[in-house]
Structure 1
Amino acid sequence: MAGVLHRAALRTSRLLQCSKRPSRYHNGSLFFSTSSRRPLMALTGFTETQLTVRDAVSQVCSQFPNTYWQEHDENERDPTDFHATLAKDGWLGIALPEALGGSGLGISEATMMMQAIAESGAGMAGAQSIHANVYATQPLAKFGTAEQLESTIPNIISGRCRVCFGVTEPNSGLDTLRLATAASKQPDGSYRVTGQKIWITCAQVAAKMILLARTTPLEDVEKPSEGLSLFCIDLDRSKHSGLDMRRIKKMGGRAVDANEVFFDNYAIPADSLIGEEGQGFKIILHGMNAERCLLAGEALGLGYAALARATQYAQERTVFQRPIGMNQGIAHPLAEAYMRLEAAKLATYHAARLYDDGSVPAADVGVACNSAKYLAAEAAFAACERAVLTHGGMGYAVEYDVERYFRESLVPRIAPISREMILNYISEKVLGLPRSY
């Protein structure tokens, strides 16, 4: 922690010195223009540590301009050097224990980091390249054995090992409790995994997977939430290992891979098990709420990036001998997009604080994290759509980036849980309405 924050403090000091001079449009997202030197997002209410993280991560991201992300999106090429740069400065361990080389900070700071990455112009692709390394490791860090932690966490933090998260399946979708991938225990204590996962991000470049599989058949448990187990497994891509991956062609975030993953009697050792057998669903919830906070931060970053682009264009684009931003038909939707982002920002960091608190009832944390993810995703989508429309025909051009942001803005509305399922959850858990599914 000390090393990361010391370097961050040095960067922050330099940034503060530079801020005394007129600043224009920093890396496409952080500032309005020469007419305003204040950040687009209001920074009041954040801790000094959060702001230090924001400034330092933004400076790291400034090494990767929008053209970098345009090229990687077009060529569907993994941003390996971006991941390596963040790992070099210790950012992948932001919310992992200091004893294992992490910074020991919370999801509040990690959310700020993910927002800064998306906001820099990296968008969802940049965030997703390290996303699982931050949240999928939370259950491992909390419930893993000392041996598991010492052999895995330092390698994740250093960037030598990348992680993917294996939960979603094609036939169960959001009905996680009815997933069919089975891990059958063998006489020697090891397991054999058979089944299929889908939409597994970064599986092509990951060395490890945090895998949720059923160890007791559904018909043999009293509750569907029982009999699921969590594993930290190696991904052996050798010819006869029983593991196969197929990349999915997708609309946005093309710089990071998404995959179907097939297991056919795939062998994993007994010490892959995280926590107690059959308690995987309870364990994985620890990571799911963290993921909702991180994804909300990423959505915010994407929305602010798009809004900054639209604002700059509205100031500079002249039609009928006047800047288009003078027209209320342009200005008012942008102002509304800003307010929606600011409101979602408050919900997001409120949820992150509750998650980090540790004493707040799990039900309250779940409501806050799901609400934040929903609000941030909707605000980001509205901002990205408005950015394209503000650019008019040029909003369709790759060089202006807003078309990429718009494509990627659909991700937080769909994943890791759909907006409709969040509405179902709030209806039942908060309003006390009958369960609809």
Structure 2
Amino acid sequence: MNVRNVERIEGDYSALPPGYAESDEDRWVPEHGKSVYRSSFERDRARLLHSSSLRRLGAKTQVVSPDVDDFSRTRLTHTLEVAQVGRELGRQLGCDPDVVDGACLSHDLGHPPFGHNGEKVLNELAAGIGGFEGNAQTLRILTRLETKRFHADGRSAGLNLTRASIDAAVKYPWQAHQAPLRQDGARSPKFGAYEDDLGVFDWMREGIEGLRTPMEGQVMDAADDIAYSVHDVEDGIVSGRFQLGFLDNDLQRARVIQTTQEWYLPQTSEGRLDEAIARLSAADSWVRESDGSRRSLAALKNMTSDLIGRFCGDIYDATRRAHGGQPLVRHEADLVVPTETLEEIQVMKGIAANYIMASREQMPVYTRQKDVLTDLHSLLMDTKDRFLDPQFQADYRAADDDAARHRAVIDQIASLTDGAALEWYATLVHGKPVVNRLFA
């Protein structure tokens, strides 16, 4: 590996940080000249920050729909928090912080309206053309749909990020048929590339053997889990859906453990998950009851800060013990997440899942969301390119076959925010005035 292990000097951003190779800076479409003020990876991060796909996350569901209240996180605020957590953890381990930051900013770009429920619906609708997967859609956005550069033949090269930045953003570096087997023998439903995006995928993975994710991508994934686990619990408490004091009740605690097993850790025993809850609830910052006052909100914020610091610290210490003090970058090392830390993170996610995502009161919302996307898909398929946005209309008209035309329709729907999907549904499907809320 041709690596320039030199420190950057003030005013010179052409030197790569320790551990990175010149090929890591390559772009799918070569760009002449380098900035003397910004590194290639800093330029990647800037392109992501200025992208319309990132802006749209502000109106896409995280856990609670964006129009429910003014406090709960959207996909955008979640993404910014993941970037902060990931950037700091990655920097401490020796990763280029802008590569990690860029991966974190990218990680949810492919999510469609209505969160994971929307992802499930679109996967069913696109079953005949390779399905829909939010992570594969992220690669498609970065390298095709969010355009900054073009190939000489006129094809879009997307944002034309560096190889290292794209690789870090692809959480699942395989196609659907290559997905690892789960413990039940079935393939994981997660994958990172559609068939017609293999050109850039193969370019990105040049010289990399196997299906491993780079260190920067592993840090992004850990930061996502940490932020998700902690902040969704905070949102649920503030929105009045539950209190952590509920877990002092044996029945409530058992339900959370069951949800954690069903959703996240099917092979982990009830006893181990109960011990994880006991460790978490023993912390001085654990907030059993919150009344919405400024003092209780401050206590919640202190709890989230302590939990983030606890999880990141445990991961950092374990990774350093395994690999020593050298910079841990790209495909030279793996992040180490201690078993107890993983169980604590997943229990936190299980709390939110039990009281928010899996609650019976959400089921009518999910059904309604499915109807919106299904009916909108039917209309757009029937009307061909008539109602598509100009960029997707161009993709539809340039398509060589029905599958490519269908993919253009799926891309269009996936790009919509929650509000835009409802607006299109109301105006195009039913010819009614725009509604702002799902049950208005």
What TM-score, normalized to structure 2?
0.32
Structure-1-length-normalised TM-score:
0.32
